[in-house]
Structure formats: C-alpha cells, structure tokens
Amino acid sequence: MPVVRFVREGREVVCPAGANLRELALAEGIQLYGLKGQLGNCGGCGQCITCFVEVVAERAPQSLNPPTAVELQKLRRRPEGWRLACQTVVFDSVAVVTRPQMGRASLDGAVAAAIAEPLPLVEVAVEPVEEDGEASDEVEGDGTGDGL
C-alpha cells in the first residue's frame, strides 16, 4: 500500500492504491486549505484551486495519475510539481507539501529530508484462500447461513 508523506505536518499516512489525495488528507485531519480555501472551496470539483499541493518526491514515475485537463488549465501559471489534491489519485508512495504558497522557506530543511529519505511501500498481508478456492458462503450470525 502506498504511503503519503505530508512534509509540513511531519506525518506519513498509509492509504489504498487509488485513493484521492484530498479525501485522504481531510480524513486524516491534514489541513489542505489556507484562509481563502477554508472560507469557500468547491468541495473537490477542481474549480477553486485552493487544495493545491507540491509533490516533492515520488517512489515511482507513475506514483500519481497524470494531471487532469482541469489541473492543466487551472495550474498553468503555477510551479511545476503543483497538483490539485482533489484531482490527484495516489498509486504509489509520494511526499507532498500542503499549502506550498505559505512559508516555504521555513520548510526547506524538511523538504530536503523528505526527499533524502526513501519512500516506503507498506506490504499488506493477504488472507489465505480456502483449499477449494472458494470463499465460504456462511454469514456470521445465527449459524443458519441466511444472514438473518
């Protein structure tokens, strides 16, 4: 499973491959928005451009989905490496800086450390399949298998 390293917050969060970066950050209590975004954001539609992040390291070249047409249009005047969290899907481990427009100079050491430290990939234990190759039909409950 991929790990998202939130540099500003000093946290690493394990997520399933295919997770939306905005939804992951919000579920983990990571503050994506500056004041403008806190007061009004589009809720993840890619229209307000307030959830942008800077991708500072990737474990693999295809760690994230390619930028969407919405991102290309909305971020055309922004630095390379910036993405809209709401349009970004995580497939492999990455390191990101939230709110990269705020106090970046004070983060230079943390960014350098995040880039230098290898990004992990968390292995998930797979439950063994029954000998006949089929899952059990019995539902937990009263033992009748009808699930009631």
In terms of pTM, does the model score above 0.75?
Answer: no
Cβ–Cβ under 8 Å, residues 94 and 64? yes
Is 78 among the domain residues?
Answer: yes
Cβ–Cβ under 8 Å, residues 50 and 37? yes
Is 103 among the domain residues?
Answer: yes
Residue 39 has pLDDT above 80, yes or no: no
Exposure class string for 6-34: b at 16+ Cβ within 10 A, else e: bbbbeebbebeeebbbbebbbeeebebbe
Q: What is the CATH number of the domain that holds 92?
A: 3.10.20.30
Is 87 among the domain residues?
Answer: yes
- Note down the domain range covering 107: 3-116
Domain count of the fold of the chain: 1
How sure is the predictor about 129, in pLDDT bands with cuts at 50, 70 and 90?
Answer: low
pLDDT of residue 141: 47
Q: Per-residue pLDDT tens for 112-123?
A: 888 788 787 776
